[in-house]
């Protein structure tokens, strides 16, 4: 009963309205031709990167476990979906592919998480990095993945609307998890693992849970990637890809979901607009990252969320008189 | 209520606890004193399940809890205020207290206990929306104790509650410990401030390099010449 009530809370309605408005706005921009086919690729990248960043944020930003292997889970989802839809090029095949990718990725998450999450900090980062490299090398050497040449002509079953639905669903699920008592336990582990254990929180269980949920959604993102971009090869999922995802999380703010959304959108837009300056593109991109981190070392959002109350507070700061009269 | 029999703990090759045995009766304040590195904190952590023992037995009300997880021990009424307070800094005071009741599902009683904690520590009620990391040392210690009380413990472990606090605050913390004990909670207290601890303790154990070298009532130990020299400054 309580769960039912909480779904209809005002803040959830606001979120839903905001999600629908975002969709309508982007759809409108597509219809009137401002977002051309070319920019639709950017849009797809943004959606996929949001799913990747939000799922990594759960592990690294909220639970405090530094993972450098997110591209590995993305690869599992991508190849699983690609292989299944190549064999069964129907919508049913696609849905099976996404499900298989996410579940396989989660299973690998359990297998990797149980032993490695006993490690802390740098050691965990190296272990997860090694895991992602092993996955990549396996895919380079398997016959079913067509080795280093990769898979081509993966049928596309996904469009902007579907991407948006998947992205919104991921955000809602992970945000609800974080607000639940399970999410509280994860944040407590980040804050102080020994104190969390003294409170009776099963730290291993929650670290593995966060890691597996993160792996699951990275698998979903990989599957969507495979279906949208036709083409896969193992090198897409290298160490640099894991770092790219981590950059979005750090830039948006560790422990802020809306920060990850903003981070993914801003970085994708910057890199799209920099396509025109191809020679100096990476230099400018890196400079922008350095400048943002110099001025906002805690990331764009820090650990706060973008919400109505934040806007209200900002507004009352700009117009202190009006704010006082209202209160 | 708590009986520890011949506990041994190793950190890698280091033999940290060498056959510790002690008992705590219901309703008592028992204190564990000794120099730095004697193994006091390790003893507490071993009993509350944060550290595994290599051999020995821990009995709580007659049941063997030696192999239970920390989580199970909290459920059975052990609550541990760790050394250095260890509040959750980026969470509010209220969120910290709520996490103290993490394993409980009895919503109404949790609300009542929260009220009880606020009554005991009015400063926490004033600061319930403040981030715990911005509290002063004394307030953080009160929060750490309040958080531990939120699990409704039968026995409360306090690890160096007076560490780094001004003398006036130390007195206040010890008064609070007495209050909690008078309200029916058994207390196992680790302290460097031996004179204060011995004053309020029913029973005391003295540790040296991983072993218990002396035990007795608080009174007895305060009169003992060795203790006076080593811990009470003359």
- The pLDDT assigned to B181 comes to 96
Interface test with A, best of B86, B108, B159 (most A CBs within 10 A): B86
Confidence of residue A304 (pLDDT cuts 50, 70, 90): confident
Helical residues (DSSP H) of A36-121, grouped into ranges: 37-57, 70-87, 91-116
Average confidence (pLDDT) over A125-149? 94
Higher pLDDT, B151 or A12: B151
Concatenated DSSP letters for A129-166? HHHHHHHHHHHHH-TTTTGGG-B--PPP---HHHHHHH
- The pLDDT assigned to B31 comes to 96
- Residue in chain B nearest A189 by alpha carbon: B88
Q: Which two tokens stand for residue B20?
A: 């510790």
Query: Is the pLDDT assigned to residue A322 strictly greater than 50?
Result: no
Q: Do A194 and B82 make contact, defined as CB atoms within 8 angstroms?
A: yes
Confidence of residue A320 (pLDDT cuts 50, 70, 90): low
Q: Do A200 and B102 make contact, defined as CB atoms within 8 angstroms?
A: yes
Question: Of all residues in chain A, what percent carry a pLDDT higher than 90?
Answer: 72
- Alpha-carbon distance of A310 to A298, in angstroms, equals 17
Burial B26-47 (b: 16+ CB within 10 A, else e): eebbbbbbbeeebbbbbbbbbb
- The pLDDT assigned to A323 comes to 41
The SS3 call for residue A309 is helix
B166-174 LR contacts (CB < 8 Å, sep 24+): B166/B138, B169/B137, B169/B138, B169/B141, B170/B196, B172/B138, B173/B138, B173/B141, B173/B142, B173/B145, B174/B199, B174/B200
Query: Is the pLDDT assigned to residue A2 strictly greater than 90?
Result: no
- The pLDDT assigned to B109 comes to 94
Q: Please report which helix (H) or strand (E) contains residue A312, including its range.
A: helix A308-318
Measure B221 CA to nearest chain A CA, in Å.
31
- Alpha-carbon distance of A112 to A128, in angstroms, equals 8
Mean residue pLDDT of chain A comes to: 90
Q: Please report which helix (H) or strand (E) contains residue A213, including its range.
A: helix A203-229
Interface test with B, best of A195, A203, A304 (most B CBs within 10 A): A195
- Alpha-carbon distance of B47 to A114, in angstroms, equals 25
- The pLDDT assigned to B231 comes to 75
Q: B186-191 and B203-208 as β-strands: parallel, antiparallel, unpaired?
A: unpaired
What contacts A260, CB < 8 A, 6 or more positions away? A50, A53, A54, A57, A61, A248, A249, A252, A253
Measure A105 CA to nearest chain B CA, in Å.
29
Nearest CB to B71; choose among A192, A194, A202: A202
pLDDT in tens, B187-221: 999 998 888 999 999 999 999 999 999 999 988 88
- Residue in chain A nearest B87 by alpha carbon: A195
Confidence of residue A325 (pLDDT cuts 50, 70, 90): very low
**In chain B, how many H helices and how many E strands?**
10, 10
Q: Which two tokens stand for residue B136?
A: 């002063």
Burial of B74 (0-12, 13-18, 19+ CB in 10 A): buried
In B, which residues are within 8 Å of A188 by CB distance? 88, 91, 99, 102
Nearest CB to A191; choose among B91, B148, B151: B91
In A, which residues are within 8 Å of B107 by CB distance? none
In A, which residues are within 8 Å of B82 by CB distance? 194-195, 198
Q: Do A197 and B95 make contact, defined as CB atoms within 8 angstroms?
A: no
Higher pLDDT, B144 or A303: B144
**CA of residue A142 relative to chain centroid, distance:** 27
Query: Is the pLDDT assigned to residue A6 strictly greater than 70?
Result: no
A interface toward B at CB cutoff 8 Å?
Answer: 181, 184-185, 187-188, 191-192, 194-202, 303
- The pLDDT assigned to A319 comes to 58
Higher pLDDT, A293 or B112: B112
pLDDT in tens, A153-177: 999 999 999 999 999 999 999 999 9
CATH of domain B2-85+148-231: 3.40.50.300
- Alpha-carbon distance of A201 to A206, in angstroms, equals 8
Query: Is the pLDDT assigned to residue A321 strictly greater than 60?
Result: no
Nearest CB to A200; choose among B70, B86, B95: B70
Average confidence (pLDDT) over A248-256? 94
- The pLDDT assigned to B52 comes to 93
- The pLDDT assigned to A120 comes to 75
Domain boundaries, chain A: 1-31, 39-326
CATH of domain A39-326: 1.10.3470
B interface toward A at CB cutoff 8 Å?
Answer: 48, 50, 69-71, 73-75, 79-82, 86-91, 95, 98-100, 102-103, 147-148, 151
Confidence of residue A324 (pLDDT cuts 50, 70, 90): very low
The SS3 call for residue B207 is strand
Nearest to B145 by CA among B196, B110, B111, B181: B181
In A, which residues are within 8 Å of B147 by CB distance? 199
ipTM: 0.91
What contacts B186, CB < 8 A, 6 or more positions away? B1, B2, B24, B25, B26, B27, B28, B29, B30, B154, B155, B156
The SS3 call for residue A176 is helix
Q: Which two tokens stand for residue B41?
A: 């904190």
Question: Of all residues in chain B, what percent carry a pLDDT higher than 90?
Answer: 87
According to DSSP, the residues that pair with B55 across neighbouring strands are B8
- The pLDDT assigned to A192 comes to 95
Nearest CB to A198; choose among B48, B75, B90: B48
Domain boundaries, chain B: 2-85+148-231
In B, which residues are within 8 Å of A201 by CB distance? 71, 99, 102
Query: Is the pLDDT assigned to residue B29 strictly greater than 80?
Result: yes
Query: Is the pLDDT assigned to residue B147 strictly greater than 60?
Result: yes
According to DSSP, the residues that pair with B215 across neighbouring strands are B205
Helix crossing, A203-229 with A70-87: angle to 10°? Answer: 50
- Residue in chain B nearest A195 by alpha carbon: B86
Q: Do A188 and B50 make contact, defined as CB atoms within 8 angstroms?
A: no
Confidence of residue A326 (pLDDT cuts 50, 70, 90): very low
Nearest to B117 by CA among B135, B96, B132: B96
Mean residue pLDDT of chain B comes to: 93
Measure A202 CA to nearest chain B CA, in Å.
6
Average confidence (pLDDT) over A111-119? 90
- Residue in chain A nearest B151 by alpha carbon: A199
pLDDT in tens, A42-92: 999 999 999 999 999 999 999 999 999 999 999 999 999 999 999 999 999
């Amino acid at each position: 009963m309580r769960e039912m009530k909480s779904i209809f809370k005002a803040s959830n309605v606001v979120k839903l309205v905001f999600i629908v408005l975002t969709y309508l706005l982007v759809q409108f921009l597509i219809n009137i031709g401002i977002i051309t086919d070319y920019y639709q690729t950017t849009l797809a990248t943004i959606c996929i990167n949001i799913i990747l960043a939000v799922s990594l944020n759960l592990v690294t930003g909220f639970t405090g476990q530094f993972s450098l292997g997110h591209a590995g889970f993305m690869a599992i989802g991508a190849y699983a979906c690609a292989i299944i839809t190549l064999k069964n090029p129907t919508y049913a095949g696609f849905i099976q592919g996404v499900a298989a990718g996410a579940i396989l990725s989660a299973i690998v998450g359990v297998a990797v998480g149980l032993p490695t999450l006993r490690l802390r900090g740098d050691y965990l980062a190296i272990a997860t990095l090694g895991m992602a490299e092993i996955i990549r090398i396996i895919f380079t050497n398997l016959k079913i993945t067509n080795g280093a040449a990769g898979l081509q002509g993966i049928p596309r079953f996904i469009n902007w609307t579907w991407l948006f639905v998947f992205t919104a669903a991921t955000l809602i699920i992970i945000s609800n998890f974080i607000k639940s008592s399970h999410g509280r336990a994860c944040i407590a582990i980040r804050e102080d693992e020994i104190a969390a254990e003294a409170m009776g929180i099963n730290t291993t269980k929650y670290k593995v849970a966060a890691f597996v949920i993160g792996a699951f959604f990275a698998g979903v993102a990989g599957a969507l990637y495979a279906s949208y971009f036709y083409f896969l090869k193992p090198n897409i999922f290298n160490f640099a890809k894991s770092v790219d995802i981590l950059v979005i999380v750090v830039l948006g703010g560790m422990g802020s979901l809306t920060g990850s959304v903003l981070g993914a959108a801003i970085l994708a837009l910057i890199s799209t607009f920099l396509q025109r300056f191809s020679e100096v593109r990476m230099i400018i991109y890196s400079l922008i990252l350095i400048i943002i981190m110099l001025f906002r070392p805690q990331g764009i959002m820090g650990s706060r969320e973008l919400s109505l109350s934040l806007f209200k507070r900002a507004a009352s700061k700009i117009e202190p008189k009006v704010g006082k009269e209202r209160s | 209520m708590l009986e520890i029999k011949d506990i041994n703990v190793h950190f890698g090759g280091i033999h940290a606890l060498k056959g510790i045995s002690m008992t705590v009766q219901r309703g008592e304040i028992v204190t564990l004193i000794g120099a730095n590195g004697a193994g006091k904190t390790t003893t507490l952590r071993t009993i509350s399940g944060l550290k595994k023992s290599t051999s020995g037995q821990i009995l709580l009300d007659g049941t063997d809890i030696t192999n239970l997880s920390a989580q199970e021990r909290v459920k059975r009424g052990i609550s541990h205020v760790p050394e250095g307070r260890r509040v959750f800094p980026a969470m509010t005071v209220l969120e910290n207290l709520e996490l103290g009741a993490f394993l409980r599902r009895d919503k109404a009683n949790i609300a009542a206990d929260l009220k009880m904690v606020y009554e005991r520590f009015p400063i926490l009620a004033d600061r319930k929306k403040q981030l715990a990391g911005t509290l002063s040392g004394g307030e953080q210690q009160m929060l750490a104790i309040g958080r531990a009380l939120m699990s409704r413990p039968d026995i409360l472990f306090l690890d160096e509650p007076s560490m780094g606090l001004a003398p006036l605050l130390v007195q206040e913390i010890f008064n609070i410990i007495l209050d909690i004990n008078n309200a029916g909670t058994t207390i196992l207290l680790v302290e460097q401030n031996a004179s204060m601890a011995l004053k309020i303790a029913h029973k005391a154990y003295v540790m040296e390099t991983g072993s218990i070298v002396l035990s007795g009532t608080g009174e007895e130990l305060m009169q003992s010449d060795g203790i006076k020299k080593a811990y009470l400054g003359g």
